[in-house]
Structures are given as C-alpha cells and as structure tokens.
Chains A and B, each alone.
Chain A
Amino acid sequence: MPRRKSGPPSLGSLGALSAVGIAFVLALLFGFLIGRALDGWLGTSPLFLIVFFFIGLAAGVLNVIRTASAVTRDDRK
C-alpha cells in the first residue's frame, strides 16, 4: 500500500460525518415511534416498542458504518 502524507480530511467528508449524528437519532426515533404506534394499535405494549427500538438502533448503526467506510475510502484516494 503506497504511503501518503496525512492531511486534513476533505470538507465533504466532514459534512458527511456531521450528518451521521442526526441520522442516528432519527433512526432511533422512527423505530421508537413505529413501535409505539403498533403497540397502541395491537395493545401489546411494550413488545413492539422494544423490538422496533432495537431495529431503529440497528439501522442507525449500519448507517454510521457505511458513512465511516465511505469517508475513509474517499480520503485515501
């Protein structure tokens, strides 16, 4: 692997990274709301709340991982 001088990350990757936080919280919030709605509809509280909270969490994490991969790849081109 060729060595390269480390420099400041590009502005684009900084933007992508700063959006990650909001996306993570939104994913959690969506999961939470969907779960609460399903629980209210089916009367199964708190089963779906917990399940969808974790699904939202997983989605948020996946998003973070994808962004991190993309950012580090761009920076090393």
Chain B
Amino acid sequence: MPPGFAPDDFWLLLPEILLATTAVVVLGADALLPRGRQGLAAWIALGGLGATAAALVPLAGTHATAAGGLMAVDAFAGFFKLLFLLAAALTILMSTRYLAVEGARPGTYYVLVLCATLGMLFMASALDLVTQVIGLETMAVSFYILAGFLKPNRRSNEAAVKYFLLGAFSLGLLLYGMSLLYGLTGTTMLRDIGTALAGLERSRWLGLAVILVVAGLGFKIAAVPFHMWAPDVYEGAPTPITAFLSVGSKAASFAMLLRLFFEALPAANADWGLLFYALAILTMTVGNLAALTQSNLKRLLAYSSIAHAGYVLIGVVAATSVPQVGIKAALVYLLVYAFMQIGAFGVVTMLRRHDVIGEELKDMSGLFTRNPLAGASMLLFMLSLGGIPPTAGFMGKFWLFSAAIDGGYYWLAVIGVLNSAVSLYYYLRVVVFMWFKPQATGSPVVLGPAMGVLLAVTVVGTLALGVYPRALFDLADVSARALGAAGIATMVR
C-alpha cells in the first residue's frame, strides 16, 4: 500500500479508480476489437461512467478526506462529480454519429474523454495545490488532443495549437501564483494555507499571488479579458468536444476556483472579491455584445458561453458577503447551464451531415419543418439560455441575481439583468432562422437513437429544473454547506 493511503481510501476514491480502470479497458478494446465493431468502445465508456456514478451514491452524506488529506470526499465534490459524469455521458452520445460522419476513427477519442473526466473529478476533490494542478492538467492535456482530433481539418489543428499554447501560458501564471502562496505560508494544503493567511498581515505578495491565480483560472473559465482563445477553439474543435469543453471544463474550473478561494484565501476576500466583480461585469458585457454579430453557430455559442461564465461569477462575488447563498446560486446555475448548453450543441451536431458542415446560422433555416422535434428542443434551449420562464435558465438566473441583491451588490444584479435582455436578441435570432426562413438545402436532419436519448435528457432537465427546482436547490444547499465550513466562518464578519 502506498504511503499516506489508508484502507478506507479505497472506498472513498472508488469512483476515480473505476473511471481510470474504464479508460484503460476502452484503450485495450480499441486495439483488440475487430474493425467495424469499434463502436462498442463508446458503450463500454458509457457503462464505466454509469458505474462511476453508482459508486458515488454510497458516498452521499460523507464528509471525509482521503489520501492523507489531499482529497476531500464531501457533498460539494459529489455535486460536481455527478455533473461531470453527466456531461461526459452526453458528450459520448453526441459523438458516435458525429465521428462517423467526419470519417474519423474513434481510436483514443473515448479514452481521452474519460481521462478528461477523471481530471475533472480530481479538480472537484483536491484539497492541495499540487493535486489541483495535476487534475487540471489531466483534463487540459486530454482536451488539447481532442480539440485537434480531426487531423485533416485545418481549423481543428489550429484550435489545438491555440488551446495548447494559451493553456500552457495560463498554467504558468497559475503556478507562479501558487508558488507565491506556498512561499508565503510554507504549505500546499488549502486549509492550512487558509489558517496561515488568517494570521498574516496583508502584503503585496499576497495581492500578486491572488492576481496571478485569478488570471490563470480566468483562462480556464474563459472570463474576459482571458477569453480570446475560446471562440477560435470552440469553432475548430469537433462539436461534441466543444460542448464538453464549454460545460465540463468550465464547471471543473469553477469547482477548483471555489475550493481554492473559499478554502485557502478567505482572508483576502476583499481583494479577490473586487477582482471578480470587475471580471463578472466585463465578461457578461463583452460576451453578450460580441455574440450579437456572430453568424457561425459554434462561435455564437462560444460567446454565449463566455457570457454565462460572467453570470456564474456573480454568484462567486455574492458569496464574499453571503457565502451560503452565493455558492449555492453558482452551483445551481452550473448544473442548469450543463443541460441547456449540451442540448443546444446536440442540435448543432445533428446539422452536421455528409453533405453539409452545418455550423452556420443559415443552416438552421426551416429546422421546424425539417425536423420538428429538433426545432422545438432548440427553441427550449434558446429560451432557457436567454432566461425566459418556465425554463431552468430562468430559475438559475433568478437565484444568481437575488444572491447578488442579498449580498448588497445591486449594480451587479442590474447589469446582469440588462445583459440577459441583450442576449435575448441573438438567442431569438436563431429561433427566427428556424421558424421563418425557407428550408436550407442538403440531406434531411435525422434524429438517431443516441441523439434521441440526449435530447430527451436535456429537454427534461431544462424543463423539470425550471418547473420544479426544489430538489436541485436542496441538493445545491447541502453541497454549498460542505465547502470549507471553517473558511466560510472566518469570512462572515
């Protein structure tokens, strides 16, 4: 048994162990399965994700640390892990037909999706700077390869190069900030850093560390002004990967951000609260304004995804004065966003056919008559992203804005509402194309069984959480409470 590894840890880390095992099995299956049967790899991957989710169930209500205090097994991590597993499963469902149409051999594709998910699980649990970075890189390296997976496609290549270079630089900034934190406190454990900083004078080094860490994580959540890579990478990457990137990677980075700032840096919350305040306003406004002029669907959804990171940041800012309410609102919104964003990308994936690339706004033309089910689903996702009741998007935004008001950030709430109004223009533009424009040419848009399941899950999620949000609120409440109770206590003045 490795040092620092207690027998109980096996049960606490069983989800991660299962997922890593599945990745290895899928890798072997790809090599051993005969040509033509390689589609089976997707089903093995889905089974592994299901088993991992099942292994999370007995851990509900646990509040423990594993691997010598490096990993937390609590409701906060559990909430995010379920979100990642759901996003990964939906991504795989979206990918099967897409890869066939693109003519790409699945090969290591599903292995990399699983590895990225594994990294996310670590990011949600890690209680130590080094473990956090290892999780982050496990995820990011998988995504660099996945973004460039369509090798003959120049845009996919370009996306991979850009994502890799900027990912490397942002990691440099983040690590520099983390090394300063280590230098100031002499420890890499988040909770020990929190205790050490509580007794420390405010210094300019701490300020620099906070700025660098915010910049490094700002890249990962694609907050303005660190968002420039997002539209290019989202446009060039294979569409299912774009969906996974915009939901999974973003949620994982928020999980890491919340852990880091609320467990290790509650003492400096006046500094980073102000930084996030500025970032939230910039991110919402720039994201929404830039989305107005896009004619490419993937770029439009990329800018919309930037704007949504800004909305979630409202929750983070609100949490500096009302921690419980703010974190809860951010968690609720991240889950709601997963359903509507993956659903919207699912419909975009359906538009990709042998004869049509299907990424332009005009490819949406007449979708209501060509495939009413896909059209109606897309309408729901657009309304939800825009924040119209009775969808989940409305409930999510309502909670975020009321959290801002609870925390006394009235202007943030006002700017958030104004931004939602602006965003309606481009979401409804998609609807106008679907409903009022004459049908686009090309082969029919078909709904396969995998896409049927995906649309069913996302539509039900988007509607159910909007009509009956109680269960989600209770879940998010328990999860937010689990996040560094000690750290939060020192913040409430």
Determine if A62 is an interface residue (Cβ-Cβ < 8 Å): yes
Q: In the docked arrangement, what's the CA distance between A66 and B333, Å?
A: 34
Query: For chain A residues 38-58, which have a beta carbon within 8 Å of chain B?
Result: 46, 50, 53-55, 57-58
Determine if B215 is an interface residue (Cβ-Cβ < 8 Å): yes
A54 touches B215 (CB 8 A): yes
Which one of B151, B158, B215 contacts A68 once the chains associate, using CB atoms below 8 Å?
Answer: B158
Among B34-42, B159-167, B372-380, the stretch in contact with A: B159-167
Which one of A4, A20, A50 contacts B165 once the chains associate, using CB atoms below 8 Å?
Answer: A20
Question: Per-residue CB proximity of A1-22 to B under 8 Å, as 1/0?
Answer: 1011010000000000100110
Determine if B50 is an interface residue (Cβ-Cβ < 8 Å): no
Determine if B381 is an interface residue (Cβ-Cβ < 8 Å): no
Q: In the docked arrangement, what's the CA distance between A72 and B233, Å?
A: 13
B152 touches A68 (CB 8 A): no
Which one of B154, B161, B228 contacts A61 once the chains associate, using CB atoms below 8 Å?
Answer: B228
B158 touches A24 (CB 8 A): no
Which one of B165, B173, B204, B207 contacts A64 once the chains associate, using CB atoms below 8 Å?
Answer: B165
Determine if B283 is an interface residue (Cβ-Cβ < 8 Å): no
A-B contact count (CB 8 A): 60
Instruction: Classify chain A's interface size.
Output: 20 to 34
* Residues of A contacting B173 in the complex (Cβ-Cβ under 8 angstroms): 57
Determine if B360 is an interface residue (Cβ-Cβ < 8 Å): no
**In whole Å, how far is A33's beta carbon from the nearest beta carbon of chain B?**
14
Main SS of the interface on chain A? Answer: helix
Determine if A65 is an interface residue (Cβ-Cβ < 8 Å): yes
Determine if B18 is an interface residue (Cβ-Cβ < 8 Å): no
Query: For chain B residues 227-279, which have a beta carbon within 8 Å of chain A?
Result: 228-229, 232, 275
Instruction: Classify chain B's interface size.
Output: 20 to 34
**In whole Å, how far is B77's beta carbon from the nearest beta carbon of chain A?**
31
Which one of A53, A58, A65, A76 contacts B211 once the chains associate, using CB atoms below 8 Å?
Answer: A53
Q: Smallest CB-CB separation from B152: which chain A residue?
A: A3
Interface centre among A55, A61, A69, by most chain B C-beta atoms within 10 angstroms, is: A61
* A50 with B211, Cβ < 8 A, contacts A58-B228, A65-B232 known: yes
Q: Smallest CB-CB separation from B225: which chain A residue?
A: A58
A76 touches B228 (CB 8 A): no
* Residues of B contacting A57 in the complex (Cβ-Cβ under 8 angstroms): 173, 215, 225-226
Q: In the docked arrangement, what's the CA distance between A21 and B168, Å?
A: 10
A61 touches B229 (CB 8 A): yes
Which one of B158, B169, B207, B229 contacts A60 once the chains associate, using CB atoms below 8 Å?
Answer: B169
Determine if A71 is an interface residue (Cβ-Cβ < 8 Å): yes
B165 touches A54 (CB 8 A): no
Query: For chain B residues 353-371, which have a beta carbon within 8 Å of chain A?
Result: none
* A54 with B225, Cβ < 8 A, contacts A72-B158, A76-B154 known: yes
**In whole Å, how far is A75's beta carbon from the nearest beta carbon of chain B?**
8
B165 touches A62 (CB 8 A): no
**In whole Å, how far is B226's beta carbon from the nearest beta carbon of chain A?**
7
**In whole Å, how far is B222's beta carbon from the nearest beta carbon of chain A?**
12
A64 touches B162 (CB 8 A): yes
**In whole Å, how far is A6's beta carbon from the nearest beta carbon of chain B?**
7
A71 touches B161 (CB 8 A): yes
* Residues of A contacting B154 in the complex (Cβ-Cβ under 8 angstroms): 1, 72-73, 76
Q: In the docked arrangement, what's the CA distance between A21 and B158, Å?
A: 18
Determine if B153 is an interface residue (Cβ-Cβ < 8 Å): yes
Q: Smallest CB-CB separation from A28: which chain B residue?
A: B173
* Residues of B contacting A6 in the complex (Cβ-Cβ under 8 angstroms): 151
Determine if B157 is an interface residue (Cβ-Cβ < 8 Å): yes
B225 touches A76 (CB 8 A): no
Q: In the docked arrangement, what's the CA distance between A53 and B215, Å?
A: 10
Q: In the docked arrangement, what's the CA distance between A43 and B162, Å?
A: 38
A65 touches B169 (CB 8 A): no
Which one of B158, B204, B211 contacts A69 once the chains associate, using CB atoms below 8 Å?
Answer: B158
**In whole Å, how far is A51's beta carbon from the nearest beta carbon of chain B?**
9
Q: In the docked arrangement, what's the CA distance between A72 and B275, Å?
A: 35
* Residues of A contacting B207 in the complex (Cβ-Cβ under 8 angstroms): 46
- Residues of A participating in the B interface, judged by any CB pair closer than 8 Å: 1, 3-4, 6, 17, 20-21, 24, 46, 50, 53-55, 57-58, 60-62, 64-65, 68-69, 71-73, 75-76
In order of increasing CB-CB distance, the 8 nearest A-B pairs are: A72-B158, A68-B162, A58-B225, A68-B161, A3-B152, A76-B154, A64-B165, A61-B228
Q: Can you identify 25 A-B contacts, CB atoms within 8 angstroms?
A: A6-B151, A46-B204, A46-B207, A50-B211, A53-B211, A53-B215, A54-B225, A57-B173, A57-B215, A58-B228, A60-B169, A61-B166, A61-B169, A61-B225, A61-B228, A64-B162, A64-B166, A64-B169, A65-B162, A65-B228, A65-B229, A65-B232, A72-B157, A76-B154, A76-B157
